[in-house]
Structure 1
């Protein structure tokens, strides 16, 4: 099933959504901030906002429950509210929960939350390529799950209950999943892994590659699974995925290899055999060409980075 494959990819690229800030405000307001994270999301819990960034053609009108995903943008401007009074400038405050969310009244305030989407290097390459500069997910066209996830997250952020930090992390993950589900249904996706996972014609062939990545798949066999001619299958796969089928298979193997090296103690020779390589040296050469370093060096580096990251509190994130 495509949903299972999406879950598998999420696990491989270590996708993690984290709330980093927010504010509640009434009257005319505006906020402009520099962006330093490759992937950000902005959610309108209630009220409305106009979003402008360097990747947008003009202001994007965000309504209650809408979410915008920002891909490699350098700045963000939000504005909203009505009335004759002066415009209030909202300045992001370091730390989270944000004091700007204290006492939020969903009946009268514009309530905005922002977060970042953390990825490992493999995930960065996949997701950044699969999303446009600005993705607008409309709550009005999505299932009720998206709005429900957003409201549950907001409730945890503002209630300050026992275990709220853990709950916020979990709700952030679910919100991110619902956002991507809704975006897939609403938008024309650019070529990439997110689009190929949702292609009904290619799904049988994709399922074979994901189920047995170590098998020496040929175009003829994969095309037969998709009930297509060899030429039609190859052309459709390249159009949808952005790469030929066997290149996709190679990259899938490399993602599996990175997870195995990151999370386990498997021997490189055994991993090479499981992924269909004739020898450890052939696998190591392919891995270094794709990732930029040898399997053992990669394992040592990422485990060191994971240990360092675990020592840094998430509250260090600031602003939207």
Structure 2
């Protein structure tokens, strides 16, 4: 049930994992650049490196099979390989947008460092939700319990990147999506995320209440009814929910309704008054006011902008 809720949220916020760069190299190397996406992944397929970014007091070491997830960072630098001062400057790799071909520098994949870089594309609502739910740098180690599944996902991705088979671009996108999911699963298995959506969705005590809100968002849920579903007192439920989600239950419910509204306005032709009723608002005006407060523009204007319609 947790994964069902997580999948539901991922669909609404349009989470899309993308492989953004890859290289294999022999000898010393360095890569650095600006981070322009809310979530950035670095996968150390083989070898080792030292990774630096804003917000870290000192670089973190990545070994074979480790993955680093950077949240809301502005720059990234990684350096690795072997060699001494007399071996000349390190090979520098400059990330190219959407370039996933595995660049090789005179190497053999069996012995060289192999690095995959990825990013997570999100709509604005998704960026806000996921960046508040993950630490600035989340590490998933090859020694973690979920490592075998994660490793299998990485290996399939490397195969598609290196074999140059028909349909590789499509396959890379699909495997990058699965890689993102496996990384998040592995992280959630070994660490408690900060207060936010991911933490709330993995709280077993809150699951019955979340199931009610997600399953019937248009119902006027009250705190007492949600607390009963979780077999807790109103006070205990309210305290636990806020500690996990970072917001009170009814604020969470309103945000969930707004996510559903965004998707409906983007993808469906439902009338705004009918949508307001579906989501539990007493009038189109009340819904429009709530939507504008949450999103920053009126529902009709939001739909027109996303569909490229002149007002």
SS of equivalent to 1:51: strand
C-alpha change, 1:261 and 1:104, in structure 2 (3 Å) is farther
Asked whether the equivalents of residues 291 and 298 of structure 2 are also in contact (C-alpha less than 8 Å), the reply is yes
Tell me, in whole angstroms, the C-alpha distance in 2 between the residues paired with 1:104 and 1:276.
60
Given that 2:25 and 2:105 are in contact with CA atoms closer than 8 Å, whether structure 1 keeps it comes out as no
Q: Secondary structure at the match of 1:68?
A: strand
How has the CA–CA distance of structure 1 residues 176 and 79 changed in structure 2, closer, same or farther, with 3 Å as cutoff? same
State the distance in 2 between where 1:89 and 1:207 align: 52
2: distance between equivalents of 1:186 and 1:104? 34
Shift of 1:21: 0.8
Corresponding residue for residue 88 of structure 1: 90
Q: Distance in 1 between matches of 2:107 and 2:279?
A: 52
Q: Which of 103, 106, 109 does residue 106 from structure 1 map onto?
A: 109
Equivalent of residue 238 in structure 1, options 236, 242, 249? 242
Cα deviation 1:148-187 (Å, max 9, x = unaligned): 1111111111111000011011001000000111111122
Q: Tell me if 1:304 matches 2:304.
A: no
Contact 1:22 1:101 in 2 (8 A): no
Summarize the alignment of residues 1-320 of structure 1 with structure 2, pairs less than 5 Å apart: 1-84=1-84, 85-94=87-96, 96-98=99-101, 100-101=103-104, 105-143=108-146, 144-304=148-308
Count of aligned pairs = 305
Q: Contact (CA 8 Å) 1:45, 1:65: kept in 2 or not?
A: yes
RMSD of Structure 2 on Structure 1 (CA): 1.6
Q: Does the 8 A contact of 2:26 with 2:105 survive in 1? A: no
- Residues 104 and 111, structure 1, Cα contact 8 Å, conserved in 2: no
Secondary structure at the residue paired with 2:143? helix
Q: Following the alignment from structure 2 to structure 1, what is the Cα–Cα distance between the partners of residues 57 and 135?
A: 12
Stretch moving more, 152-161 or 242-251: 152-161
Post-superposition offset of 1:102: 7.4
Q: Is the 8 A contact 1:262 1:299 kept in 2?
A: yes
Bigger mean CA offset, 250-259 vs 57-66: 57-66
1:30·1:87 contact (CA, 8 Å) conserved in 2?
no
What secondary structure is seen at the aligned counterpart in 2 of 1:78? strand
Deviation of 1:42 (Å): 0.7
Greater shift, 101-110 or 245-254, is seen at: 101-110
Distance 1:292 1:157, change over 3 A: same
Distance 1:301 1:40 in 2: 28
Higher relative contact order (CA 8 A, sep 6+): 1
TM-score (ref. length: structure 2): 0.94
Give the whole-Å Cα distance in 1 for the aligned partners of 2:237 and 2:102: 54
Give the conservation status (yes or no) of the 8 Å contact 1:101–1:158. Answer: no
The 3-state SS of whatever aligns with 2:17 is strand
Secondary structure of the residue aligned to 1:140 is coil
Q: Distance in 2 between matches of 1:283 and 1:170?
A: 36
